[in-house]
Amino acid sequence: MAQFDVIIVGARVAGASLAIRLGQMGKHVLVLDKASFPSDTLSTHQLSHIQYLDVLGVRESVEQLGLREINRMRTYIGRNFTDGERGTSTVIPGRAVFDSLLMEKAVSYETVTFRQGAQVRRLLYEGKTVTGVETVDKKGNLTDYQAGLVVGADGRNSTVAREAGARMYDYEPAERPVFYGYYEGMTALPDPTVEIFLDEGRIGFVFPMQEGVDCLGLEIHSSEFKKFAKNPQEEFEEVFRRLYGMDERLKGATLIGKVVGTPGVPNFFREPYGDGWALIGDAAHSKDPSTGLGMNDAIWQSLLLAEVIQRIEEGASFDEEMEGFHKERDEALKPSYDMTLDYIRTLRGWRDEELEAFRKWASNPLLVKNQVPVLTEMFPQG
């Protein structure tokens, strides 16, 4: 059986990012994924903290994709909107390309090995400690691999989490179905802008990608899922064209591929470690994609775990370091988790008086001038 320092199950953003960092440290790493690459995965693609690209050493490769750098955000309520600069820049890469790009960087380190089409069947144990994995390839061949640590980066339905018995907590069921598609030729705003539409209890998104290509997304009511699933493109475009300005902007636009969707994304935390194993990414923490934080959270967890692994190798206590990892993760991610749940639970439409209040805010500079001092007290700096 092959011996590695770390086995990473899952080669998407979380797993690939961890593999890169461990490769930079000279660790012997095996990355396993049941899929073949390049391949797509459900995602809204937003990478808000593009400084992570520098840490991972892939900024130049991402820039060569021709993605538009986005520095503005616009929020619509009914027929009114506010528009302003984002706090940070973002880019919107397609996941099939971005995930492959990350893994190409990972395997550029000679100590990183990647096995595609290798599905983990079960964990291997010595006593109560995880020591490796058993895999099966597409021909049915079984192979065992051993490592000092097995990391599950294998998504919400994580095999590693299930096999290890990782406890789930703060669970909330999926609230909203999500559909999205890539469109070419849509009329763009003058500056690349992430657009959010809050309309009749639904949430619409426009994410600029390469020049002339946009990712359009919709979060809808759960009661609408079956209708959308039967005719996804027709239903999707009908709703999107009712959003402010979109009927005109979608004239001449064509769908690339298909509109795809899911009944919704469950919300939870899992215990992220045990004897010989750890969890990162959606395997460890999942939340509704409406706030666009999944990719950033995944990379952040990977960078944090890489630091912990290094300290353990240098002699620090596994239990103490992993307990600290667990605590720091929850303290960092719980506020945005609660914010996301609050955001998606606003299922009702806007009342007339609320729409009128937003219209006045969006169109009246004197009202803005009087209210900004109050808002600075609500949102302190630092």
pLDDT tens for residues 18-36? 999 999 999 999 999 998 8
Residue 364: pLDDT above 60?
Answer: no
In this prediction, residue 362 carries a pLDDT of 61
Q: Give the mean model confidence (pLDDT) for residues 203-216.
A: 94
Q: Are 135 and 143 in contact (CB under 8 A)?
A: yes
Task: Report the percentage of the chain scoring pLDDT > 90.
Answer: 73
pLDDT tens sequence across 225-238: 999 999 999 999 99
Residue 190: pLDDT above 90?
Answer: yes
Rounded to whole angstroms, the maximal C-alpha distance in the chain is 72
Residue 316 has what DSSP assignment?
-
Return all residues near 6 (Cβ < 8 A) that are at least 6 apart: 18, 22, 27, 28, 29, 30, 147, 148, 149, 150, 151, 309
In this prediction, residue 361 carries a pLDDT of 58
d(C-alpha 201, C-alpha 176), whole Å:
10
- The token pair at 343 is 């955001």
244 CA to centre of own chain: 27
Residue positions counted in the chain: 382
d(C-alpha 363, C-alpha 2), whole Å:
65
d(C-alpha 183, C-alpha 212), whole Å:
8
d(C-alpha 191, C-alpha 151), whole Å:
41
Q: What integer best gives the mean pLDDT of the chain?
A: 90
In this prediction, residue 371 carries a pLDDT of 54
Q: Using the structure block, give the residue that is written with the tokens 């706090």.
A: 87
Q: Superfamily for 2-47+92-173+266-343?
A: FAD/NAD(P)-binding domain (3.50.50.60)
pLDDT tier at 44, thresholds 50, 70, 90: low
pLDDT tier at 289, thresholds 50, 70, 90: confident
Residue 367: pLDDT above 60?
Answer: no
Q: Are 239 and 217 in contact (CB under 8 A)?
A: no
In this prediction, residue 96 carries a pLDDT of 84
**Weakest mean pLDDT among 51-65, 302-316, 336-350:** 336-350
- The token pair at 325 is 């990892």
**Weakest mean pLDDT among 212-216, 275-279, 338-342:** 338-342
In this prediction, residue 375 carries a pLDDT of 47
pLDDT tier at 81, thresholds 50, 70, 90: confident
175 three-state secondary structure? coil
pLDDT tens sequence across 114-151: 999 999 999 999 999 999 999 999 999 999 999 999 99
How many helices (H) and strands (E) the chain has is answered by 12, 18
d(C-alpha 228, C-alpha 237), whole Å:
10
In this prediction, residue 365 carries a pLDDT of 58
d(C-alpha 237, C-alpha 246), whole Å:
10
219 CA to centre of own chain: 15
In this prediction, residue 119 carries a pLDDT of 96
